[in-house]
């Protein structure tokens, strides 16, 4: 599908990456182009695939989602990021640049994804 | 200053039973030295007096006085010397006892810190298991149910298929939760006690295991839990290290004082020297929390014996 929003899903949990795959298949106008299981893998794939949107889990072993988002913003200032986490959302002293939304995993749906994408600042 | 309340009862008793008889023996030695010195002073004085009575010293009062003063001075000096020696002996004993107390306190603090750190690691592991396991599955299910709901109108057959898949995932999440709860505190242990819980575990063990319960009955929750996980550790060790083992026996016995003694005996072949690894250290720390102890030694006929002991 040309013109679709390309998405990179980043989560160390396979079960969640599988769900993200199904969710994006069912969300019109979005296309999953890659999956990463860690922060370093996400940075590598983001540089290679240049996705429009990075769906990024906050809690990951090693480099967590916040650190990955900071590095991603430095490497690719145009990257748009949606942070996702289970339960309470961690309080951030400063939101990494490029983060347009912070969603609880259980609230993730086609509707919330579309709403988050629509809220991104105009270029 | 040692906070006595910070030292578990059993350890403090052990410390005192070692130290008090030694202090008593030192005091007895001091009393004996003082007695001997008093006796020798008395003999010296009596001898001096006899000499004075028998010789012509009576004729010289000044000589008599000088002789008496000399004898008294000698006796006094001897007494002072004996007392100084006694004080030195007592000081040395006191220092030895203080050093022993300080050593025991340090050992207890280290042991308590290890137990606290172990409990903390265990909490983190449980939290991580919940986060990575059941919680992720339930969150994924929440999202997928919504997707299936949207599918119902357009593709009812596809929606049914998805729902069946989701049912399987619910079962997997339930199994993960059950296994996690079992690792925290096995329900059988809580409901039926140590012997039944160990029999259930024996049925799943890698080696054939026979449990002789010895009619031990029930113990405090923390004792049953510590012993149960120690026996599991010993069974894992046997499966790992007891080459060629055909049977592991777990024998439980209630002591006369109401304590619990457990022996885990395998009939495998082991290295002649048993090195205390993580498994034995884990057992030691689990049991230390209930004042218990563990001893691991080769069996005379071959194999290894792990003996656990918890006081009543």
Question: A23: pLDDT confidence band, cut at 50, 70 and 90?
Answer: very high
State the average pLDDT for chain A. Answer: 90
| Tens-digit pLDDT profile for residues A59-86 | 899 999 999 999 999 998 888 999 999 8
- Yes or no, beta carbons of A86 and B146 under 8 Å apart: no
For residue B255, count other CB atoms closer than 10 A to its CB. 13
Side by side, which strands form the sheet with B293-298? Answer: B209-212, B248-254, B260-266, B304-310, B293-298
What's the alpha-carbon Rg for chain A, to the nearest Å? 13
Asked if residues B212 and B251 have their Cβ atoms less than 8 Å apart, the reply is: yes
Reported as type and span, the H/E element at residue B308 is strand B304-310
Which residues in chain A are closer than 8 Å to B132, comparing Cβ atoms?
A: 13
Listed residue (B2, B215, B242, B233) closest to B103, CA to CA: B2
Q: List CB contacts of A22: < 8 A, sequence separation 6 or more.
A: B144, B147
- Asked if B139 and A105 come within 8 Å (Cβ–Cβ), the reply is yes
To which H or E segment does residue B264 belong? strand B260-266
Of B265, B230, B261, B236, give the one whose Cα is nearest residue B250. B265
In this prediction, the residues of chain B whose per-residue pLDDT falls under 70 are: 1-23, 41, 44-45, 48-49, 51-59, 270-276
pLDDT of residue A103: 92
Give residues 15 to 44 of A whose Cβ lies within 8 Å of B.
15-16, 18-19, 22-23, 26
| Of residues B274, B204, B186, the one with CA closest to residue B237 | B274
Read off φ and ψ for residue B114, nearest 5 degrees: -65, -40
Query: For A4-20, what is the mean pLDDT?
Result: 93
Q: Which of B135, B143, B151 sits opposite A23 (nearest CB)?
A: B143
Q: What is the pLDDT of residues A29-70, one digit of tens each?
A: 999 999 999 999 999 999 999 999 999 999 899 999 999 999
Mark yes or no for CB contact A15/B140 under 8 Å. yes
Which pLDDT belongs to residue B3?
Answer: 40
Q: What is the pLDDT of residues B175-188, one digit of tens each?
A: 888 888 888 888 88
Q: What is the pLDDT of residue B2?
A: 36
Chain B residue with minimum CA distance to A107: B143
The reported pLDDT for the residue numbered A1 is 46
Q: What pLDDT, on a 0 to 100 scale, did the predictor assign at position B132?
A: 82
Q: Is A110 on the interface with B (CB under 8 A)?
A: yes
Mapped onto helix, strand or coil, the DSSP state of residue B244 is coil
């Amino acid at each position: 599908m040309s013109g679709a929003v390309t998405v990179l899903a980043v989560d160390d949990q396979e079960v969640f990456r599988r769900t993200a795959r199904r969710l994006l298949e069912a969300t019109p106008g979005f296309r999953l182009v890659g999956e990463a299981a860690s922060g370093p893998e996400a940075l590598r794939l983001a540089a290679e695939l240049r996705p429009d949107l990075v769906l990024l889990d906050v809690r990951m072993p090693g480099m967590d989602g916040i650190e990955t988002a900071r590095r991603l913003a430095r490497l690719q200032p145009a990257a748009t990021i949606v942070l996702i986490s289970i339960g309470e959302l961690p309080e951030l002293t400063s939101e990494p640049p490029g983060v347009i939304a912070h969603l609880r995993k259980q609230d993730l749906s086609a509707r919330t994804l579309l709403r988050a994408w629509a809220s991104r600042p105009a270029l | 200053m040692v906070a006595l309340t910070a030292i578990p009862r059993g350890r403090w008793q052990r410390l005192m039973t070692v130290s008090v008889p030694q202090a008593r023996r030192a005091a007895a030695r001091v009393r004996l030295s003082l007695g001997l010195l008093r006796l020798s002073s008395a003999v010296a004085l009596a001898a001096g007096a006899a000499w004075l009575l028998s010789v012509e010293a009576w004729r010289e009062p000044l000589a008599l006085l000088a002789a008496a003063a000399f004898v008294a001075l000698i006796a006094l000096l001897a007494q002072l010397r004996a007392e100084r020696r006694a004080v030195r002996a007592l000081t040395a004993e006191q220092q030895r006892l203080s050093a022993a107390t300080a050593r025991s306190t340090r050992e207890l603090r280290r042991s308590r810190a290890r137990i606290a750190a172990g409990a903390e690691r265990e909490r983190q592991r449980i939290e991580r298991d919940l986060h990575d396991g059941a919680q992720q599955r339930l969150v994924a299910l929440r999202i997928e149910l919504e997707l299936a709901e949207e599918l119902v109108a357009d593709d009812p057959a596809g929606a049914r298929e998805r729902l069946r898949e989701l049912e399987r995932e619910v079962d997997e999440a339930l199994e993960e939760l059950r296994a996690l709860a079992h690792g925290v505190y096995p329900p059988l242990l809580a409901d039926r006690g140590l012997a039944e819980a160990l029999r259930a575990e024996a049925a799943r063990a890698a080696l054939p295991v026979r449990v002789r319960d010895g009619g031990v009955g029930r113990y405090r929750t923390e004792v049953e839990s510590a012993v149960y996980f120690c026996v599991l550790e010993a069974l894992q060790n046997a499966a790992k290290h007891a080459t060629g083992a055909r049977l592991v026996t777990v024998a439980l016995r209630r002591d006369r004082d109401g304590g619990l003694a457990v022996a885990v005996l395998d009939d495998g072949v082991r290295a002649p020297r048993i090195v205390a690894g993580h498994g034995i250290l884990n057992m030691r720390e689990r049991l230390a929390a209930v004042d218990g102890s563990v001893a691991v030694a080769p069996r005379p006929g071959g194999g290894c014996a792990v003996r656990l002991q918890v006081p009543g």
